[in-house]
Amino acid sequence: MNKKKMDIIYEDKELLVINKPEKLLTIGTNNNKINTLYHEAREYIKKKNQKIFIVNRLDRDTSGIVVFAKNEKLKHAIQNNWNDITKRYYYAVVEGKVKKSDTLINYLKESKGLEIYVSKDKNGKLAILEYKVVLSNNDYSLLDIEIKSGRRNQIRCQLDYINHPIIGDKKYNSTKNPLGRLGLHAYKLLLTNPITNKEYIFESKVPKQFFDIFNQ
């Protein structure tokens, strides 16, 4: 289990928002139910005699903002309206020099091996993301990304498709791993509570190493 103290971004009587470290599962698998963010959050909440329900997930190797609801009604309300009540932002360090900011609009499909890939078939799931180039050199670029759709691996898959895979992402054809981790971090989430209409802005500090790589 991750021995570091859980990094709580925000907590009230309805929500618990945590900064998930990289290389930690959000929720358990058949092979690993203990070493997960959900397990740590549940143990923390149990001491308060409260319950917890996971709202969103991040890939194991992605760091950043994960939201838990403290009641099931709120969990379902947020999940059922997720794309309408949230704005989600990521920083990504990618291979190569990205020349200009752009919007990517693609249809995604899943192979029998559960790999997500871009397809020209419009029967796929529509995925949209906007990115701005923050920093770049001949080797790497730092992108500020807003995702407009909720699709698994959509950032990783689409950046690979334009020949700028995220560093450390072997699954999507990256050959460089200068940070020893996946270069993807969920740094900001704007959320409107669909029951109370209360608006939240959650932010997580971008890992310093994402910037340091451009100063070497």
Say how far apart CA 61 and CA 24 lie, in whole Å: 7
- Contact 124/149 with Cβ under 8 angstroms? no
- Contact 195/15 with Cβ under 8 angstroms? no
State the catalytic residue, choosing from 7, 59, 144, 169: 59
- Which residues contact residue 163 at a Cβ distance below 8 angstroms, ignoring those fewer than 6 apart? 96
Closest CA to 94 of 46, 147, 140, 49: 140
- Contact 174/166 with Cβ under 8 angstroms? yes
Amino acid symbol at 176: K
Closest CA to 51 of 16, 83, 2, 3: 16
Q: Is 59 marked active-site?
A: yes
Question: Would you state the structure tokens that stand for residue 67, as one six-digit string?
Answer: 């939201």
Say how far apart CA 38 and CA 25 lie, in whole Å: 8
Strand 116-119 to strand 15-20: parallel, antiparallel, or no bridges (unpaired)?
unpaired
Residues serving a catalytic function are: 59
